Amino acid sequence: MLATLLMGATQAAAGGTVFDQWWLAIKDKALAGNLDFWENIYKEIYQNILFNNRWLNYLKGMGITLEVSFFAALFGLFLGMLLAMMRLSGIRPLQKIAGVYVGIIRGTPMLLQVLIINFGLFGSIAIDRVVIGVIACGINSAAYVSEIIRSGILSVDLGQTEAGRSLGLSSWQTLRLIVFPQALKTALPSLCNEFITLIKETSILAYIALTELTKAGDYIRSKTYSAFTPYIVSGILYLIVTGVLTKLLSKLERRLRQGDNR
Protein backbone atom coordinates (compact mmCIF):
# COMPACT_ATOMS: atom_id res chain seq x y z
CA MET A 1 0.00 0.00 0.00
CA LEU A 2 2.78 2.45 0.91
CA ALA A 3 4.66 1.61 -2.30
CA THR A 4 1.51 2.30 -4.32
CA LEU A 5 1.07 5.68 -2.67
CA LEU A 6 4.69 6.62 -3.26
CA MET A 7 4.56 5.57 -6.92
CA GLY A 8 1.35 7.56 -7.40
CA ALA A 9 3.01 10.64 -5.93
CA THR A 10 6.03 10.07 -8.17
CA GLN A 11 3.96 9.89 -11.34
CA ALA A 12 2.07 13.06 -10.43
CA ALA A 13 5.29 14.88 -9.55
CA ALA A 14 7.01 14.30 -12.88
CA GLY A 15 7.59 17.64 -14.58
CA GLY A 16 6.00 19.58 -11.72
CA THR A 17 7.15 22.29 -9.35
CA VAL A 18 10.45 22.53 -7.52
CA PHE A 19 8.83 20.71 -4.60
CA ASP A 20 7.91 17.89 -6.95
CA GLN A 21 11.50 17.76 -8.21
CA TRP A 22 12.78 17.53 -4.64
CA TRP A 23 10.43 14.60 -4.14
CA LEU A 24 11.68 12.87 -7.28
CA ALA A 25 15.22 13.24 -5.96
CA ILE A 26 14.45 11.11 -2.89
CA LYS A 27 11.72 8.81 -4.21
CA ASP A 28 14.01 5.82 -4.67
CA LYS A 29 15.25 6.09 -1.10
CA ALA A 30 11.65 6.44 0.06
CA LEU A 31 10.65 3.25 -1.75
CA ALA A 32 13.61 1.47 -0.19
CA GLY A 33 12.80 2.88 3.25
CA ASN A 34 16.26 4.46 3.57
CA LEU A 35 15.30 8.11 4.18
CA ASP A 36 17.23 10.05 6.81
CA PHE A 37 15.47 12.23 9.41
CA TRP A 38 15.08 15.39 7.30
CA GLU A 39 14.19 13.50 4.14
CA ASN A 40 11.47 11.67 6.04
CA ILE A 41 10.11 14.98 7.30
CA TYR A 42 9.99 16.30 3.74
CA LYS A 43 8.21 13.14 2.61
CA GLU A 44 5.52 13.74 5.25
CA ILE A 45 5.19 17.41 4.26
CA TYR A 46 5.04 16.58 0.56
CA GLN A 47 2.48 13.79 0.84
CA ASN A 48 0.20 15.49 3.39
CA ILE A 49 0.42 19.14 2.30
CA LEU A 50 1.98 19.72 -1.11
CA PHE A 51 0.93 16.71 -3.21
CA ASN A 52 -2.22 17.40 -5.27
CA ASN A 53 -2.50 20.78 -3.51
CA ARG A 54 -3.71 19.10 -0.35
CA TRP A 55 -3.04 22.31 1.56
CA LEU A 56 -6.24 23.60 -0.03
CA ASN A 57 -8.18 20.98 1.95
CA TYR A 58 -6.86 22.46 5.18
CA LEU A 59 -7.74 26.00 4.09
CA LYS A 60 -11.25 24.98 3.05
CA GLY A 61 -11.68 23.20 6.37
CA MET A 62 -10.46 26.28 8.22
CA GLY A 63 -12.91 28.42 6.26
CA ILE A 64 -15.81 26.19 7.27
CA THR A 65 -14.62 26.20 10.89
CA LEU A 66 -14.55 30.02 10.98
CA GLU A 67 -17.89 30.29 9.16
CA VAL A 68 -19.64 27.98 11.60
CA SER A 69 -17.96 29.64 14.60
CA PHE A 70 -18.92 33.16 13.49
CA PHE A 71 -22.60 32.49 12.82
CA ALA A 72 -22.92 30.16 15.82
CA ALA A 73 -21.46 32.94 18.00
CA LEU A 74 -24.05 35.42 16.67
CA PHE A 75 -26.88 32.94 17.21
CA GLY A 76 -25.56 32.04 20.65
CA LEU A 77 -25.21 35.71 21.61
CA PHE A 78 -28.79 36.51 20.60
CA LEU A 79 -30.26 33.44 22.32
CA GLY A 80 -27.97 33.89 25.34
CA MET A 81 -29.13 37.51 25.83
CA LEU A 82 -32.74 36.34 25.63
CA LEU A 83 -32.10 33.62 28.22
CA ALA A 84 -30.32 36.07 30.51
CA MET A 85 -33.26 38.49 30.32
CA MET A 86 -35.65 35.63 31.09
CA ARG A 87 -33.66 34.65 34.19
CA LEU A 88 -33.58 38.26 35.40
CA SER A 89 -37.18 39.07 34.47
CA GLY A 90 -38.68 38.21 37.85
CA ILE A 91 -41.36 36.18 36.03
CA ARG A 92 -41.16 32.73 37.56
CA PRO A 93 -42.22 30.61 34.51
CA LEU A 94 -39.66 32.38 32.32
CA GLN A 95 -36.98 31.94 34.96
CA LYS A 96 -37.77 28.24 35.21
CA ILE A 97 -37.67 27.71 31.44
CA ALA A 98 -34.33 29.50 31.08
CA GLY A 99 -32.92 27.71 34.13
CA VAL A 100 -33.90 24.28 32.79
CA TYR A 101 -32.42 25.10 29.37
CA VAL A 102 -29.10 26.21 30.85
CA GLY A 103 -29.01 23.21 33.18
CA ILE A 104 -29.63 20.68 30.40
CA ILE A 105 -27.16 22.19 27.93
CA ARG A 106 -24.39 22.66 30.51
CA GLY A 107 -25.02 19.23 32.02
CA THR A 108 -24.81 17.14 28.85
CA PRO A 109 -21.90 16.60 26.43
CA MET A 110 -21.83 18.81 23.36
CA LEU A 111 -21.18 15.78 21.15
CA LEU A 112 -24.43 14.22 22.36
CA GLN A 113 -26.29 17.45 21.60
CA VAL A 114 -24.83 17.59 18.07
CA LEU A 115 -25.84 13.97 17.39
CA ILE A 116 -29.38 14.53 18.67
CA ILE A 117 -29.82 17.67 16.57
CA ASN A 118 -28.33 16.10 13.43
CA PHE A 119 -29.89 12.63 13.52
CA GLY A 120 -32.94 13.41 15.66
CA LEU A 121 -34.25 16.85 14.70
CA PHE A 122 -32.90 17.00 11.14
CA GLY A 123 -32.46 13.31 10.36
CA SER A 124 -35.26 13.24 7.74
CA ILE A 125 -34.70 16.78 6.41
CA ALA A 126 -32.32 17.70 3.59
CA ILE A 127 -30.34 20.54 5.17
CA ASP A 128 -26.78 21.75 4.80
CA ARG A 129 -24.38 20.38 7.42
CA VAL A 130 -23.05 23.90 7.96
CA VAL A 131 -26.51 25.06 9.04
CA ILE A 132 -26.81 22.11 11.41
CA GLY A 133 -23.39 22.95 12.83
CA VAL A 134 -24.36 26.59 13.37
CA ILE A 135 -27.59 25.61 15.12
CA ALA A 136 -25.95 22.95 17.32
CA CYS A 137 -22.98 25.10 18.33
CA GLY A 138 -25.18 28.16 18.81
CA ILE A 139 -27.59 26.31 21.08
CA ASN A 140 -24.69 25.04 23.18
CA SER A 141 -22.92 28.40 23.32
CA ALA A 142 -26.12 30.25 24.31
CA ALA A 143 -26.23 28.51 27.68
CA TYR A 144 -22.77 29.77 28.60
CA VAL A 145 -23.29 33.21 27.05
CA SER A 146 -26.46 33.68 29.09
CA GLU A 147 -24.57 33.10 32.33
CA ILE A 148 -21.80 35.47 31.26
CA ILE A 149 -24.29 38.24 30.42
CA ARG A 150 -26.35 37.62 33.55
CA SER A 151 -23.23 37.84 35.71
CA GLY A 152 -22.24 41.05 33.93
CA ILE A 153 -25.63 42.64 34.60
CA LEU A 154 -25.61 41.56 38.24
CA SER A 155 -22.13 43.07 38.66
CA VAL A 156 -23.49 46.56 37.95
CA ASP A 157 -24.16 48.42 41.18
CA LEU A 158 -27.85 48.69 42.10
CA GLY A 159 -27.37 52.42 42.57
CA GLN A 160 -26.94 52.76 38.80
CA THR A 161 -30.45 51.43 38.26
CA GLU A 162 -31.87 53.63 40.98
CA ALA A 163 -30.15 56.67 39.46
CA GLY A 164 -31.67 55.91 36.08
CA ARG A 165 -35.16 55.54 37.52
CA SER A 166 -34.77 58.79 39.47
CA LEU A 167 -34.06 60.56 36.17
CA GLY A 168 -37.45 59.42 34.86
CA LEU A 169 -36.21 56.54 32.72
CA SER A 170 -38.33 53.42 32.38
CA SER A 171 -37.01 50.02 33.44
CA TRP A 172 -36.20 49.14 29.80
CA GLN A 173 -34.49 52.50 29.16
CA THR A 174 -32.44 52.13 32.35
CA LEU A 175 -31.37 48.64 31.35
CA ARG A 176 -30.57 49.64 27.75
CA LEU A 177 -28.85 52.98 28.37
CA ILE A 178 -27.18 52.55 31.76
CA VAL A 179 -26.95 48.96 32.98
CA PHE A 180 -26.32 47.03 29.78
CA PRO A 181 -23.36 49.11 28.47
CA GLN A 182 -21.56 48.64 31.80
CA ALA A 183 -22.45 44.94 31.92
CA LEU A 184 -21.19 44.42 28.36
CA LYS A 185 -17.87 46.03 29.26
CA THR A 186 -17.49 43.59 32.14
CA ALA A 187 -18.64 40.56 30.16
CA LEU A 188 -16.79 41.28 26.90
CA PRO A 189 -13.51 39.46 27.74
CA SER A 190 -15.44 36.36 28.81
CA LEU A 191 -17.56 36.52 25.64
CA CYS A 192 -14.40 36.68 23.54
CA ASN A 193 -13.00 33.66 25.39
CA GLU A 194 -16.25 31.82 24.71
CA PHE A 195 -15.79 32.53 20.98
CA ILE A 196 -12.25 31.11 21.08
CA THR A 197 -13.56 28.02 22.84
CA LEU A 198 -16.33 27.71 20.26
CA ILE A 199 -13.78 27.63 17.42
CA LYS A 200 -12.11 24.59 18.98
CA GLU A 201 -15.40 22.89 19.81
CA THR A 202 -16.48 22.92 16.16
CA SER A 203 -14.12 19.96 15.71
CA ILE A 204 -16.94 17.84 17.15
CA LEU A 205 -18.87 18.47 13.93
CA ALA A 206 -16.57 15.98 12.21
CA TYR A 207 -18.87 13.34 13.71
CA ILE A 208 -21.69 14.49 11.41
CA ALA A 209 -19.42 14.48 8.33
CA LEU A 210 -18.97 18.25 8.16
CA THR A 211 -15.57 18.83 6.56
CA GLU A 212 -14.26 21.44 8.98
CA LEU A 213 -10.57 21.64 9.87
CA THR A 214 -10.33 18.45 11.92
CA LYS A 215 -12.30 16.44 9.36
CA ALA A 216 -10.09 17.85 6.58
CA GLY A 217 -7.03 16.48 8.37
CA ASP A 218 -8.77 13.14 8.86
CA TYR A 219 -9.64 13.01 5.15
CA ILE A 220 -5.99 13.52 4.19
CA ARG A 221 -4.93 10.88 6.73
CA SER A 222 -7.26 8.41 5.00
CA LYS A 223 -5.43 9.10 1.73
CA THR A 224 -1.84 9.07 2.98
CA TYR A 225 -2.12 6.67 5.94
CA SER A 226 0.06 9.10 7.88
CA ALA A 227 -0.77 8.78 11.56
CA PHE A 228 0.33 12.21 12.80
CA THR A 229 1.13 14.81 10.16
CA PRO A 230 -2.41 15.73 8.98
CA TYR A 231 -3.58 16.20 12.57
CA ILE A 232 -0.46 18.17 13.46
CA VAL A 233 -1.10 20.53 10.53
CA SER A 234 -4.72 20.97 11.65
CA GLY A 235 -3.53 21.63 15.19
CA ILE A 236 -1.05 24.27 14.02
CA LEU A 237 -3.81 26.08 12.12
CA TYR A 238 -6.03 26.00 15.22
CA LEU A 239 -3.14 27.44 17.25
CA ILE A 240 -2.58 30.24 14.73
CA VAL A 241 -6.23 31.31 14.75
CA THR A 242 -6.72 31.07 18.51
CA GLY A 243 -3.33 32.69 19.12
CA VAL A 244 -4.25 35.72 16.98
CA LEU A 245 -7.63 36.04 18.69
CA THR A 246 -6.03 35.71 22.13
CA LYS A 247 -3.57 38.48 21.25
CA LEU A 248 -6.41 40.73 20.12
CA LEU A 249 -8.32 39.90 23.31
CA SER A 250 -5.31 40.90 25.43
CA LYS A 251 -5.14 44.26 23.64
CA LEU A 252 -8.87 44.75 24.18
CA GLU A 253 -8.55 44.04 27.90
CA ARG A 254 -5.68 46.52 28.20
CA ARG A 255 -7.75 49.22 26.50
CA LEU A 256 -10.66 48.51 28.84
CA ARG A 257 -8.38 48.79 31.88
CA GLN A 258 -6.96 52.06 30.56
CA GLY A 259 -10.50 53.38 30.15
CA ASP A 260 -11.27 52.47 33.78
CA ASN A 261 -8.19 54.33 35.02
CA ARG A 262 -9.09 57.62 33.32
Whether residue 57 is predicted with pLDDT greater than 70 in this model: the reply is: yes
Residues 36 and 134 in one domain: no
Mean pLDDT of the chain: 86
Q: Are residues 154 and 177 in the same domain?
A: yes
Does residue 251 lie within any of the structural domains?
no
81-132, pLDDT tens digit by residue? Answer: 999 989 988 889 999 999 999 999 999 999 999 999 999 999 888 899 999 9
List pLDDT tens digits, range 158-184.
Answer: 777 777 777 777 777 777 778 877 888
- Number of neighbours of residue 191 by Cβ within 10 angstroms: 20
- The domain in which residue 25 lies consists of 2-53
Give yes or no: residues 31 and 118 share one domain: no
CA nearest to 234, candidates 109, 68, 35, 64: 64
Give the number of domains in the chain: 2
The pLDDT of residue 3 is: 47
End position of a domain, from candidates 190, 210, 230: 210
Look at residue 220 and tell me if it is in a domain. Answer: no
Domain with 181 in it: what CATH number? 1.10.3720.10
Same-domain pairing of 76 and 115: yes
- 89 and 46, same structural domain? no
Band the pLDDT of 220: cuts 50, 70, 90.
Answer: very high
Same domain, 23 and 74: no
Same domain, 20 and 148: no
Residues 49 and 72 both lie in one domain: no
Instruction: Look at 210 and 173; give whichever has higher pLDDT.
Output: 210
- The per-residue pLDDT for range 184-200, each reduced to its tens digit, is 888 888 888 999 999 99
Confidence bin at 16 (pLDDT 50/70/90): low
Q: What is the 3-state secondary structure of the chain? A: CHHHHHHHHHHHHCCCCHHHHHHHHHHHHHHHCCCCHHHHHHHHHHHHHHHHHCHHHHHHHHHHHHHHHHHHHHHHHHHHHHHHHHHHCCCHHHHHHHHHHHHHHHHCCHHHHHHHHHHHHCCCCCCCHHHHHHHHHHHHHHHHHHHHHHHHHHCCCHHHHHHHHHCCCCHHHHHHHHHHHHHHHHHHHHHHHHHHHHHHHHHHHHHHCCCCHHHHHHHHHHHHCCCCHHHHHHHHHHHHHHHHHHHHHHHHHHHHHHHHHC
Q: Residues 59-82: pLDDT tens digits?
A: 999 999 999 999 999 999 999 999
Q: Are residues 35 and 72 in the same domain?
A: no
